[in-house]
Amino acid sequence: MTPAARLSAAIEVLADIETRRRPASDALKDWGLAHRFAGSGDRSAIGSLVFDALRRKASSAWIAGADTPRAVLMGSLILAHGWDVDRLAALFTGERFAPEPLTDEERVALTTRTLDDAPAWVAGDYPEWLDGQFSAVFGESRAEELSALAARAPVDMRVNALKATREKAMAELAHLGVVPTPHSPLGLRINVPENARAPNVQSEAAFQKGWIEIQDEGSQLAAMLAAADPGMQVVDLCAGGGGKALALAAQMDNRGQIFATDSDKRRLAPIFDRLTRAGARNVQVKGPKGKDDEPLRDMRGHADLVLVDAPCTGTGTWRRNPDAKWRVRPNSLDSRIAEQAAVLDRAATFVKPGGRIAYVTCSVLPAENDEAVAGFLDRNAGYAVIAPAKAAADAGLGELAAFSSPAGHGLQMSPKRTGTDGFFVALLRRTS
Report the catalytic residues.
362
Rounded CA-CA distance 122/128 in Å is 8
Helix (H, G, I), strand (E, B) or coil at 353: strand
Give the single-character DSSP code of 182: S
Check whether 117 is labelled as a binding-site residue.
Answer: no
* Burial annotation 8-17 (CB, 10 A radius, 16+ → b, else e): bbbbbbbebb
Give the single-character DSSP code of 404: B
Rounded CA-CA distance 312/325 in Å is 12
- Between the alpha carbon of residue 325 and those of residues 88, 142, 339, 365, the distances in Å are 27, 15, 20, 13
Check whether 26 is labelled as a binding-site residue.
Answer: no
Helix (H, G, I), strand (E, B) or coil at 283: strand
Which residues are CB-neighbours of 419 under 8 A, at least 6 positions away?
Answer: 181, 182, 183, 217
Helix (H, G, I), strand (E, B) or coil at 73: helix
Q: Are strands 187-190 and 155-159 parallel, antiparallel or unpaired?
A: antiparallel
Three-state secondary structure readout of 29-55 = HHHHHHCCCCCHHHHHHHHHHHHHHHH
- Specify binding-site residues for S-adenosyl-L-methionine: 262, 309
